[in-house]
Amino acid sequence: MALYTEALLERETNLSDRARASLEIIQRAVDDVAQTVARMGEFYRSREPEVALEPVDLNLLLEHVADLTRVRWSDMAQQRGAVIEMRLQQDAALPRIAAVQSQIRDALTNLVFNAVDAMPQGGTLTLRTRVDPAARGRNVIVEVSDTGVGMDEQTRRRCLEPFFTTKGTRGTGLGLAMVYGVAERHGATISVDSEPGKGTRTVVRLPLTLAIMDGMELAVGSEVYIAPLSAIVESLRPAPGDVKTIANDSQVLNLRGEIVPVLSLAKALGTEHGCKPGEEVLVVVENGGRRAALAADALLGQQQIVVKNLEGNFGKVSGVAGATILGNGAVSLILDIPELMRVALGAERRDVLWLVIREAAIVVAIGAALGVPLAILAGRGVASQLYGVRPVDPASYAAAAVVLTAIAGFAAFLPAHRASRIDPMAALRKE
C-alpha cells in the first residue's frame, strides 16, 4: 500500500487537491502503522532501540490528526444521525518540540477516538495547544476535550490502566495505556478531568527541555544572542532623525508615525556595542499587542535551534528564556522578549512621568513668580504634555493645579531615573 500510494503521488500529476490530500493522509497512516508494529517488537528486544527525535510542529500535527480522524468524527457520526463539531485552537507562538512525530500522532488519534466514542449523540470536540503559563513557559500543553457522557471518579482514576475498558467487548483497554506510554517516553505528564454528563478533558504536558524553535542571531559586541523569530515584526536600520532621545537618555523610534521605545541590548544585558552610535540595527518585537525596538550591532541570520532551559540549574535569569549551542560550539543565550519589553515599556512610562513632573514644576515656579493664576498655567502645562490636548472645563485646570502643586514640592528631590539593567552573564557567573 505504501508503494502504491507513493507512486500515485509522484506519477499522477493530474490529481485533484482533494485526492492528493487524501493520499497524503493514507501515506501518513501507513507510516504510523509501520511505527506501531516496530514499537510492538520492542517488547521482545533485548536492548532499548535508539529513537530519532525530530522537530515537531504540534499545531500542524493537530491538523493532521483532525484530517486523519475525519471519517470517524464526521462521516461515521453523520451516518448514525449525530453531528460532531471539530474545533482547533492553536497557539501561534507555540515552539516546536523534539519528539517522535508518529508516536505523538498515534497518541492524539487515540484520544480523538475516545472522545468520539463518548459522544454518541454528537457534541463538540476541541483540540487545543498552548504554552503552560504555570510552568513559566517550560511546558507546552495539548488538550483534547469533548462534551460527551463523561466518567465517574472511579472510572477516571483507572482509565489509564492497561486492559481497563468501559466499552465491553468493543474495547481492548490499550488505547489510553498506549497514550500514557508515549507520554512517559517523552518525559510528559497526562491528566484526565471528567464528570458524568459534563464531558472529558485530557491534558498532555510536554517538556520544553529540548524545544525546537526558529531564532534570529543578534550580534551585540562579542556576544551572540537569539531572538525568537515568532516575536520579530521587522528589522531596520533607522534613517537620521527617526530615533529621538528623551528624558534620562532614553530613546524612542518613529516607526511610520508610531512611537516605539528603543532598548539597547548592550546596556540591558551588560555588554558593549561593537559598532558606533547611530549604526545599530533595530529589531522591532511585539508581545501582547505592544511593540519595542531592540538595538543590536548586526543580524547574523536565521537559525533553527534546540532550546535548553536554564532555570533548573541556575534559577531565573533576568532577560533570558534559555540557551542553545550554536554550530561553532559557542553557547548563546535566548532573549526573554516579554521581560525585555516590560523593561523598555516601563522605562518609557517612567521617563514620560519624570518629564511631566519636571516641566510641571517649572510651570508652577514661573506661575508663582509672575503672579499668573496657578491653575491655568499648570493645566496648560499638563495639557501640552498630553499631545496638545487641552481641557475646556475650568474644573480640570483646577484639578491639575492641585495635583501639580502637591508634586512640585518634592519634584526637585526625585533622583534621575535610569533604565533597569539586566546582566544575565553576571547571574550565570555567580553560579
Reported for 299-303, long-range contacts at CB under 8 A and 24+ positions apart, including other chains, are 299/216, 299/217, 299/218, 299/219, 299/235, 300/217, 300/218, 300/219, 300/224, 301/216, 301/217, 302/214, 302/215, 302/216, 302/217, 302/229, 303/214, 303/215, 303/216, 303/217, 303/226, 303/327
Max mean pLDDT range (316-320, 376-380, 423-427): 316-320
Confirm whether pTM is higher than 0.75. no
Q: How confident is the model at residue 414 (pLDDT cuts 50, 70, 90)?
A: very low
Which residue type sits at 99? A
C-alpha cell at 240: 537620521
pLDDT at 374 over 70: no
Decide which of 373 and 35 is more confident.
35
Give pLDDT tens digits for 224-275: 999 988 889 999 998 888 888 876 677 888 888 888 888 888 888 878 777 7
Answer for the pair 307, 295: CB distance below 8 angstroms, yes or no. no
C-alpha cell at 98: 523534539
C-alpha cell at 37: 508494529
Answer for the pair 317, 269: CB distance below 8 angstroms, yes or no. no
C-alpha cell at 219: 550580534
Answer for the pair 87, 63: CB distance below 8 angstroms, yes or no. no
Q: For 276-380, where are the E strands, in sequence order?
A: 281-287, 290-296, 298-307, 320-325, 331-335
3-class secondary structure, 329: coil
pLDDT at 3 over 60: no
C-alpha cell at 73: 468524527
C-alpha cell at 304: 533553527
d(CA 205, CA 366): 63
d(CA 342, CA 263): 10
